[in-house]
A and B are shown apart, each in its own frame.
Chain A
Amino acid sequence: MLETAAEIIVTGLILGGAYALIAVGLSLQYGVGRVLNVAHGEFIILAALATWSLYTVFGINPVLSIAIIAPALFALGYVLDRTMFNYLRKTSENDDHFEGRSLLASFGLLFVIQNLMLLTWGALLRGYSFLNTSVTIFGNRYGANRLLALGVSVGVSVIFYLYIKRTRTGKAIRAAAESPDMASTLGVNKKRVMAMCFGLGAGLAGLAGVLYSMMFDVQGSRGIELTVVAIVVVVFGGLGSITGSLIGGFALGLVISLVNWFDPSLSLVAFYLIFILVLLIRPSGIMGRQIHAD
């Protein structure tokens, strides 16, 4: 009995850690930049496939690849924001107009990146074996790679939380998230902060991708399901609240782990049901700002 409970909890934390990491990047991009980046999952898969290539072709340890891939994706995100999304910001009449257009543009990005990945890596599932040894915790066996991923998720979450709350740049980001115009009057370089946040979000997607590739097999068309996970977690935690995404990720992971133990077929149904219910009952999520109904 206790073993079962322990299994559900540990699995839930592993799952939740993955969710949190996947979601926090998107949360940053929407929270500050107001871009609902539906291509987010594609960035994650791109990072995962790149890790696979680095490992199977060049023998580079996935943990080390983080140092290569996360910055690369940061750069990609930064450039995309400085060019595409900045242009959209300049030429949109108001916030809602921008949100709609950037949503559509990121759709286009989704198709483009996905097709490029399929052309490069083909349609086969790509996986590799890394730290695939078992570790026993409270009587249940877990793959070491998963525990590593959990450790990294927790670590990154804590670091990120402190960064946002304590450092100067972190505070600038929070200010820009609350009110971009007010922030720029106070001397915050709005364009740079936006691009940095988008880049940071992409970089986090990169990190998530590397860890994801350690645990799961990946393939070009699997990005959308990750984007959906990210969106659900972000809404659950509260649109615009970065800490909400972190906490929401772990919470949701525990819930799904419980559902999985009960009946795995229901996990997807449960997932979307929670999503719908949050939107209906408390759209601002666990930690978001209160949303005004129109």
Chain B
Amino acid sequence: MRFLTVLIALALVAAACVESTEDTTTTTAAPEPVTTQAETPDTTSAPEPLPDPPAEIVIGNPIALSGGNEAGSLLSQVPSYDLWAADVNAAGGIYVAEFDASIPVRIERVDDTSDVGTAVQLTQQMLESGEIDFYFPPWGTAFNFAIAPIVSEFQMPTAGCTVGSSELVENAAEYPYFYTLLNQAPAQAAGLVELLQDVGVTSVAIIHHDDLFGIEFSAAVEPALAEVEIEVAFKETYPLGTADFTQILRGAQDSGADAFLAFSYPPETFPMTGQAIGIEFSPDLFMAAVGVAFPAYRDAFGPAAEGVVGTGVWNPNVDIEDAQGFFDRHVAMHDAEPDRWASAACYATGQVLQQAIEAAGTLDPVKVKEAMDTIEFDTIIGTFSFDNQVNPVYPGQIGQWQDGEFEIISHTADRTAEPIFPKGAWPPPPEE
């Protein structure tokens, strides 16, 4: 009885050993028939056998799927991440010289419920567990702010695409592993003021919300306006979550300013526009910051969106390879257009990671980070190298809806169309 048991046990153990050797041979055999675009020739490790590549590259991504922020994350960020992963895998994966193999990627996504504490916890746990190879950050400035020190502590290179914060950019050295891909308020403010000067605006009415983004944008714009002698005829701030802007809009209207500038978030931009139409407040230039660049804005307001100015900008017509391709694939995969601002940056997040891994030839995050600091990237938001962990380029800063497309109108050199100025009166409402 006992002898038989031992025999069976030995047999099982032997079978297990055989299986595992079979496994290793199959994995090294599989991911081969792919073109190796790697620039690193295999000079160093000729006679030694290469280590076994992992079956996939896991990218951890805690992000808002509920709780309020998912309106933003599901529009600009999640679809771009997923499209990039699909594109990479369709081409066979990321080539890693260390294994001389192309490895597919998989995004491990969890819901941070729009709670910073949860995002922090999930990030720490993911990085601690060692179960992820790389990391994509959550949506929103506050959230990126919160995880920047953590990814730096764990030495995981991370690029943020929905983060706008001068403080984070200026103190980048404190968070050596955090990179910013999106263009920031100072560049946009400069673009805006230059535009205003160019079209001949003499006075502006400014409103913004009581939050970091609005405050910083305003702080960047106002001194610049003073320098070119554009008068600030009206300035008011409002609490986040305000639903009724009619009173504040009337104030702007009464000031008689040529241009109306709102440094706002989408939940404010949309109602604000509708209410401005309602009281027939139609300045020569109507600008709102975040939200105008969404295809939903154009769709919601139809002909009224024509001529409205907003921050951004990326559009499929920019002179960058694969810009139109990205647009078409996004529509095909998600049945929705990418937005005209951050979607492209979020896709570029993946491109940056891929190119850094390919350059480093390894999945070691520290080496990948070294590559990130030095190499030049080819992405759908342009060709660039990080300058102190900040991306210094973006196709455009300020855009305007013209004939169904969000054209770049800032900085003459970047323009994809000439600005429409004055905007003219709001068209009559579509139906009744």
Residues of A within 8 A of B (CB): 7, 11, 15, 118, 122-125, 127, 129, 131-134, 140-146, 215-217, 219, 221-222, 225, 257, 260-261, 263-265, 267-268
Taking a contact as CB atoms under 8 Å apart, the answer to whether B296 and A124 are in contact is yes
- 11 residue pairs of the A-B complex, CB under 8 angstroms, read A123-B74, A125-B271, A131-B432, A141-B253, A143-B246, A143-B278, A143-B279, A146-B246, A216-B243, A263-B236, A264-B238
Q: How far is the CB of B209 from chain A (nearest CB, A)?
A: 9
**Shortest distance between the CB of B351 and any CB in chain A (Å):** 28
Give how many B residues have a beta carbon under 8 Å from the other chain's beta carbons.
Answer: 36
- CB within 8 Å: A-B pair count: 86
Which one of B74, B246, B274 lies within 8 Å of A217 (CB-CB)?
B274
Interface residue SS majority, chain A:
mixed
Whether B279 contacts A216 by the Cβ 8 Å rule is no
Contact B247 A257 (CB under 8 A): yes
B51 CB within 8 Å of chain A? no
CA distance A225 to B241 in the complex (A): 9
Q: Which of B71, B236, B280 contacts A124 (CB 8 A)?
A: B71
Say yes or no: B278 contacts A261, CB within 8 Å: no
A125 / chain B contacts, CB cutoff of 8 Å: 71, 266-267, 270-271
A42 CB, min distance to chain B CBs, angstroms: 15
A127 CB contacts on chain B under 8 angstroms: 270-271, 274, 300
Is B429 engaged at the interface, CB distance under 8 Å to the other chain?
yes
Q: Which residues of A contact B248 (CB under 8 A)?
A: 260, 264
- Beyond A123-B68, A225-B241, whether A134 also contacts B267 by CB under 8 A is no
Q: Which residues of B contact A219 (CB under 8 A)?
A: 71, 267
The verdict on B132 contacting chain A, using a C-beta distance below 8 Å, is: no
Known contacts A118-B66, A219-B267, A264-B236; is A133 also within 8 Å of B429 by CB? yes
Complex CA distance for A217 and B243, rounded to whole angstroms: 8
Q: Mark B416-427, 1 if CB is under 8 A from A, else 0.
A: 000000000000
- B37-76 interface with A by 8 A CB criterion: 66, 68, 70-71, 74
Binding site for A on B (CB under 8 A): 66, 68, 70-71, 74, 210, 236-239, 241-244, 246-248, 250-251, 253, 266-267, 270-271, 274-275, 277-281, 296, 300, 429-430, 432
Known: A143-B275, A260-B247. A134 touches B71 (CB 8 A): no
Taking a contact as CB atoms under 8 Å apart, the answer to whether A133 and B300 are in contact is: no
CA distance A217 to B281 in the complex (A): 19
Known A125-B271, A264-B242, A268-B239; contact A140-B277, beta-carbon cutoff 8 A = no
The residue among A122, A124, A144, A260 with the most chain B CB atoms within 10 A of its own CB is A124
Task: State in angstroms the CA–CA spacing of A240 and B383 once bound together.
Answer: 67
Would A264 and B267 be within 8 Å (CB), given that A123-B71, A124-B296, A129-B277 are in contact?
Answer: no
Min CB gap A254→B, angstroms:
13
Bound Cα distance from A6 to B70, whole angstroms? 41
Contacts of A143 in B (CB 8 A): 246, 275, 278-279
Which residues of the other chain, B, contact A217 by a CB distance below 8 angstroms?
243, 267, 270-271, 274
Please name all residues of chain A whose beta carbon is closer than 8 Å to the beta carbon of B296 when the two chains form the complex: 124
